């Protein structure tokens, strides 16, 4: 196969210490993709595995030349693995899925059908999720509602890795932190059309989960970042100004009130905590406005030096 040839489909799978799942996963995935009558590649991004995952992948690659293996020098995380897969994918459509076999490869045709119907991004919904309710399902339900409310992109299951994208969608998104789960929200800035499909979710039968409570904390922090990027990345003054101006107005109001009391009613101010509050609010307001102005300068410099567009063209009709 020509290594620069464009393909119909790329399947990207971040993988980390999944030696028990490699062989059955490769066999099932190859069976499904061979039946699609499409040119394809399977990109495994090894995120610094310390077991026999890579060795087993290399052995299976001898049976299926459509497999590509990208190896990291160390564990960089799932978002970095996704990004590497996107950068090296040659398919016009890119599908992502987990390598723990809980995502069902037989759902891939359903996602591709939606893409062929005109959608730009199709997200899987694990409506019958096979995980512990208290430890995994309940936090996920709460998180999905918070993320949907915060980003204005309503999905039942942001955490489902099984997704399909038109390649131009993900190749124009820079990922870092834990932002791979926020791709639908980030892509919404482009005006993409998003669909959600119910997919099968299977219990883990081998290996162990790599997720912990620290991951949840990082996701929450990245949600704040995503909200800022979606709403204020090109106009930071409006974000900082919304905080700074009310603080400054309240501070000046209190200062005027105290000044009137001192000048006309001879009220001493040296022991008034309200005076300190007024000074604090005034300076806080000024600082936030200055932060916003500095942010505007940095944003303008970034856009002008990087030639980053402030819009995305879907097509030009001539």
Average pLDDT over residues 176-188: 82
Q: Are the C-beta atoms of residues 120 and 155 closer than 8 Å to each other?
A: no
Digit-coded pLDDT (tens) for 24-48: 999 999 999 999 999 999 999 999 8
Based on DSSP, count helices (H) and strands (E) in the chain, helices before strands: 10, 7
Per-residue tokens: 84: 């590497």
- Give me the pLDDT at residue 304, please: 60
Give the tokens for residue 206: 């081998």
pTM: 0.75
Domain boundaries, the chain: 7-231, 236-304
Residues 11, 103: Cα–Cα separation, whole Å: 13
pLDDT tens by residue, 101-120: 999 999 999 999 999 999 99
Q: What is the pLDDT of residue 161?
A: 92
- The residue assigned the tokens 């309710």 is 133
* Average pLDDT estimate for 171-188: 82
- Name the helix (H) or strand (E) containing 261: helix 236-264
What is each CA distance from 32 to 95, 103, 112, 312, in whole angstroms? 13, 13, 13, 34
d(CA 263, CA 265): 6
Per residue in 188-241, pLDDT (tens digit) is 888 899 999 999 988 877 756 655 555 666 777 777 777 777 777 667 777 788
| Residue range 134-142: mean pLDDT, rounded | 74
The span from the CA of 269 to the CA of 258, in Å, is 8
> Could you tell me which of 19, 102, 91, 28 has the C-alpha nearest to residue 64?
28
CA distance 129 to 69: 29
Q: How far apart are CA 282 and CA 215, in angstroms?
A: 38
Separation CA 175–CA 222 (nearest Å)? 11
pLDDT value at 284 more than 80:
yes
- DSSP assignment letter at 22: H
CA distance 297 to 303: 10
- CB 157 within 8 Å of CB 140: yes
Q: Using CA atoms of 146, 152, 153, 157 in order, give the dihedral in degrees to the nearest 10.
A: 10
Count of CB atoms situated within 10 Å of the CB of 226: 22
Whether residue 298 has pLDDT greater than 80: no
Instruction: Return the number of other C-beta atoms located less than 10 Å from residue 61's C-beta.
Output: 16
pLDDT interval class at 317 (50, 70, 90): very low
- Over the stretch 58-104, which tens digit does the pLDDT of each residue have? 999 998 999 999 999 888 888 889 988 998 999 999 999 999 999 99
For residues 143 and 14, give the distance between their C-alpha atoms in angstroms, rounded to a whole number.
22
pLDDT, averaged across the chain:
84
Number of neighbours of residue 92 by Cβ within 10 angstroms: 16
Cα–Cα distance between 95 and 93 in angstroms, integer? 7
Q: Looking at domain 7-231, which CATH architecture does it have?
A: Alpha-Beta Complex (3.90)
Q: Tell me the two tokens of residue 146.
A: 């918070």
Burial class for 87, CB neighbours closer than 10 Å (0-12, 13-18, 19+): exposed
- Binning pLDDT at 50, 70 and 90, where does residue 300 land? low
Q: Which of 213, 215, 208 is nearest to 100 (CA)?
A: 208
pLDDT, average across residues 53-62: 92
User: Rounded distance, CA 179 to CA 186, Å?
Assistant: 9
Looking at residue 181, its pLDDT comes to 83
């Amino acid at each position: 196969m020509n290594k620069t040839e464009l393909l119909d489909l790329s399947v990207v799978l971040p993988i980390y210490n999944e030696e028990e799942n490699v062989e059955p996963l490769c066999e099932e995935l190859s069976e499904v993709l061979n039946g699609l009558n499409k040119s394809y590649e399977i990109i495994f991004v090894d995120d610094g595995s310390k077991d026999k995952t890579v060795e087993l992948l290399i052995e299976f690659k001898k049976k299926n030349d459509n497999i590509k293996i990208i190896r990291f020098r160390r564990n960089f995380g799932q978002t970095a693995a996704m990004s590497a897969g996107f950068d090296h994918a040659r398919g016009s459509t890119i599908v992502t899925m987990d390598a723990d076999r809980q995502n069902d490869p037989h759902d891939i045709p359903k996602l591709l059908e939606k893409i062929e119907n005109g959608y730009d991004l199709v997200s899987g919904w694990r409506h019958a999720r096979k995980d512990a309710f208290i430890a995994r399902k309940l936090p996920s339900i709460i998180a999905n509602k918070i993320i949907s409310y915060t980003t204005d992109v309503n999905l039942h299951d942001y955490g489902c890795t099984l997704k399909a994208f038109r390649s131009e969608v993900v190749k124009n998104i820079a990922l870092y932190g834990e932002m791979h789960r926020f791709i639908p929200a980030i892509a919404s800035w482009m005006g993409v059309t998003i669909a959600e499909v119910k997919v099968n979710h299977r219990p883990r039968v081998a290996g162990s989960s790599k997720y912990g409570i620290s991951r949840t904390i990082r996701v929450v922090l990245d949600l704040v970042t995503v909200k800022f990027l979606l709403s204020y990345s090109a106009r930071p003054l409006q974000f900082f100004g919304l905080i700074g101006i009310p603080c400054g107005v309240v501070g000046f109001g209190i200062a005027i009130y105290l000044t009137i009391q001192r000048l006309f009613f001879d009220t001493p101010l040296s022991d008034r905590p309200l005076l300190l509050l007024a000074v604090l609010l005034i300076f806080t307001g000024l600082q936030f406005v200055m932060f916003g102005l500095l942010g505007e300068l940095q944003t303008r410099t970034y856009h002008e030096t990087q030639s980053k567009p402030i819009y995305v063209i879907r097509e030009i009709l001539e």
